[in-house]
Amino acid sequence: MTIRVIVAEDHAIVREGLCALIEREPDLEVVYEAQNGQQAVEQARQLKPDVVVMDVSMPDINGIEATRKIKIAMTDVQVLALSVHDKPEYVMDMIKMGASGYLLKDCVSSELVHAIRRVAANESYLSPKIASIVINEHLGKQQSSSDRRANVVLKDDELDILKRLVEGETAGQIADHYKVTVKAIEARRRRILSKLNIDNFADLVKYAIREGLTSC
C-alpha cells in the first residue's frame, strides 16, 4: 500500500530534495509540497495524507501550530517533525501538539524513510538525540501521576511489550515474536497505557527508564 505524504518546508531547495528522496521509494508518494504551515493545514484537510513531514520553523503558521490544527481536525493524519532545532522546548511542544516523531535535518536519508514508514504504521519514532532530550526533560520534572503509576503492577508479557516498544520495535515485530496478530499487540499496548494512565510516547519512555526496564 502506498504511503501518501505531504512535505511542509519553506526552503525550496530543501523541499525539492526531500520530495526527490521520498519519491525514490516505491511505497511512498508525495501528494503535495507545502511552502508554509497554512498550506500544510489546508492541504492536509483536502488530501488527507497518511503523513505530513513538518518543518518546525515556517512563515504564516509555524510547524507547532500547524501540527495542533491538523491533529485536532484529522487524528488519523500522522505528523513527523523534521527540524534543525534540538532545543527541548521545540521538541516537547511538537510532541504535545501530537507529532508522532521528531528528526533532525542532519539525519541520513534512510532514517527519514524509516521514520515515515513507522509513523504511517501508527508507531512513534524519535531519533537517538531527540529521545535523549525527551528522557532528560521528563526525568527532570516531578509529576504527581508518577507516584500513582509506581504502584501499578504489569504482567510479565506487558512489561516485555513495553520494553520492546520503548526500544524501537514495531507492533509487527512484537506480533511476530509472540506469534499473534498486530491488532492483538495494539490492544495490549492500549491496555498498558490505560493501566499506567499514560497517553503519550514520551511519558512511556520516562516510565520505562524510571522502572529500569530500559537504558535507551
pLDDT in tens, 45-86: 999 999 999 999 998 889 999 999 999 999 899 999 999 988
Q: What share of the chain in percent tops pLDDT 90?
A: 52
Q: Which CATH architecture has domain 142-210?
A: Orthogonal Bundle (1.10)
Closest residue by Cα to residue 98 from 59, 151, 141, 44: 44
Closest residue by Cα to residue 127 from 192, 174, 82: 82
What does the domain layout of the chain look like in residue ranges?
A: 3-127, 142-210
Predicted confidence (pLDDT) per residue in 167-187, tens digit:
778 888 999 999 999 999 989
Domain 3-127 fold is Rossmann fold (3.40.50)
Q: Tell me, what's the pLDDT at 139? A: 57
Predicted confidence (pLDDT) per residue in 90-119, tens digit:
898 999 899 999 999 999 999 999 999 999
Q: Tell me, what's the pLDDT at 71? A: 93
Quick check: do 3-127 and 142-210 share a fold? no
- Residue 81 grid cell: 517533525
- Residue 172 grid cell: 509487527
In this prediction the pTM is 0.67
Name, in order, each residue with C-beta under 8 angstroms of 171's C-beta and a sequence gap of 6 or more.
Answer: 121, 122, 123, 182, 185, 186, 189
Q: Tell me, what's the pLDDT at 86? A: 87
Return mean pLDDT, the chain. 87
Reported confidence tier of residue 214, pLDDT bands at 50, 70, 90: low
